[in-house]
Homo-oligomer: A and B are copies of this chain.
């Protein structure tokens, strides 16, 4: 599934430049002026909440909610978000229509809304420079409204646009202004019917014909059809298509990106040789038109090869600055991480929404009580608190985690911009890749389970579509899959951790990393001698106690995995077999799937 390549390589760098150049075309600015943020109750950014059924519960809070909001977001970010929400609230195009929309109508409406979001000019360059988190915040605000819109907008601007900017060169910059005027509409076509995770095995081909200086894009069969591509179903006029590049003589140079025109921008009719269509209803995000495409010997100019990592001379010679696969992999880590970091943040939004709905319902829904006359809000029941409050805590923890990881990513991207080739930069890339590969599964699975728990905790009313928990679950679900299936991704983190052990065992290297997230492993395996010290629930409230348990658990699982891997290799398994036979241990799925890292079961004896 390609749709999740939401914030692609160098998105910040590109956004800054792209938006800067965009100012020149004077797209009308619709967003209203922002009022200053004060402390009074008539503050336009944090107005008092209206009195209603929730008032009693809110009045019992032990802290002032406005101070928490200010502490958590800061006044600038609060204003930025309020500005977006106000614009959408006041625009009839964004009103939720009564009843349900047909698939066709919903997709059409999402396209119109996407166009309108461009006109609002929410992301201003002068703001962005001081606060790169605004990129993430804009995705999240649009997603809070509707993920179909958020993904449609970002697939076109950040994913398609960023791919052209960061994988191409100056000869491709002609496309960029057309992106901002929506003169062309883009998509990112990597996934094929039969290949998603295994990108190397993609089968679309691009043969170079030196006689016409053209590349011939071709799908050998149905299994090689591009599939799942967001925006391709109905609206994309152009795609960044990944294909195996062949030079005359038949040599294959691996997967490369090409700009391919899919439809006529005036009529939206397919270009000759392109068979394109909508893949139909999905479990969620149905405002987004995911599509398929097959190419029958479609000819494009040589110049439409996005040539950052490799190019073809007019005569048909392949030229590249990339020395080997290792360098190629290292350079692509940042690109892989950015999508995953964005998805972690998107998942947090869904968890926040679900927990808010469920807690508000629980504070007003009454059922049973000490007497027949007096019923108690269900939120007062310890069982309901136990079901919901850990997810509220998780929303805060993961919100902080996803933002700080995003800022680390910005640092990494700035290093790439500055052509930093230091060991620290390379190590930072690996560490962030490992964090993003575990953080995305943690956030998306926690959100998926949290939404389901919220649905159930709201009883029958949680099952009514208008209460949105179904949409949240359905829209969050692909976060577990795109940009790497969660179970597969976890193996990348465990491979990183095992690699640290191997490097220490084989060369005596210290275990340390730029963000210091793995430094505690320097105490491996001695940490395994530590014993759990807590003897009461109160002891466990000291965060050092669960943290020590977490460190022990990581060491334990690492030791088990390391031993199993070595055993497999000694018994003659090749690398592929050895990894497969211990992958269940290697990755921490056992822990994640039991939520035990995040949400301990209060009655568990261990």
Contact = CB atoms under 8 A, between A and B. Distances in A.
B375 A463 contact: no
Contact of A481 (B200, B284, B460): B460
Interface in A429-474: 448, 452, 455-457, 459-460, 462-466, 469-470, 473-474
Contacts of A593: 595, 601
Contacts of A596: 594
B281 A580 contact: no
A304 to B, nearest CB: 27
A595 B469 CA distance: 23
A459 B576 contact: no
A328 B191 CA distance: 62
Contacts of A604: 590, 594
> Which of A387, A460, A585 has its CB near the most chain B CB atoms (within 10 A)?
A460
A233 interface: no
B595 A601 contact: no
A391 interface: no
Interface stretch (A318-326, A336-344, A365-373, A398-406): A365-373
Interface in A296-326: none
Interface string A573-600: 0101100110111011111011110000
A357 interface: no
Contacts of A525: none
Nearest to A599: B593
A452 B460 contact: no
A582 to B, nearest CB: 8
A606 interface: yes
A537 interface: no
> Which of A228, A279, A576, A594 has its CB near the most chain B CB atoms (within 10 A)?
A594
A478 interface: yes
A297 B594 CA distance: 53
A28 interface: no
A595 to B, nearest CB: 7
Given A103-B100, A459-B197, A583 B381 contact: yes
A104 to B, nearest CB: 10
A382 interface: yes
Nearest to A365: B194
Q: Please list the 5 inter-chain residue pairs (A to B) with the smallest Cβ-Cβ separation, ordered nearest first.
A: A590-B601, A283-B470, A1-B460, A281-B465, A590-B603
Interface in A540-567: 553, 556-557, 560
A155 interface: no
A382 B583 contact: yes
A595 B596 CA distance: 12
Nearest to A98: B280
Nearest to A471: B283
B100 A466 contact: no
A313 to B, nearest CB: 27
A480 interface: yes
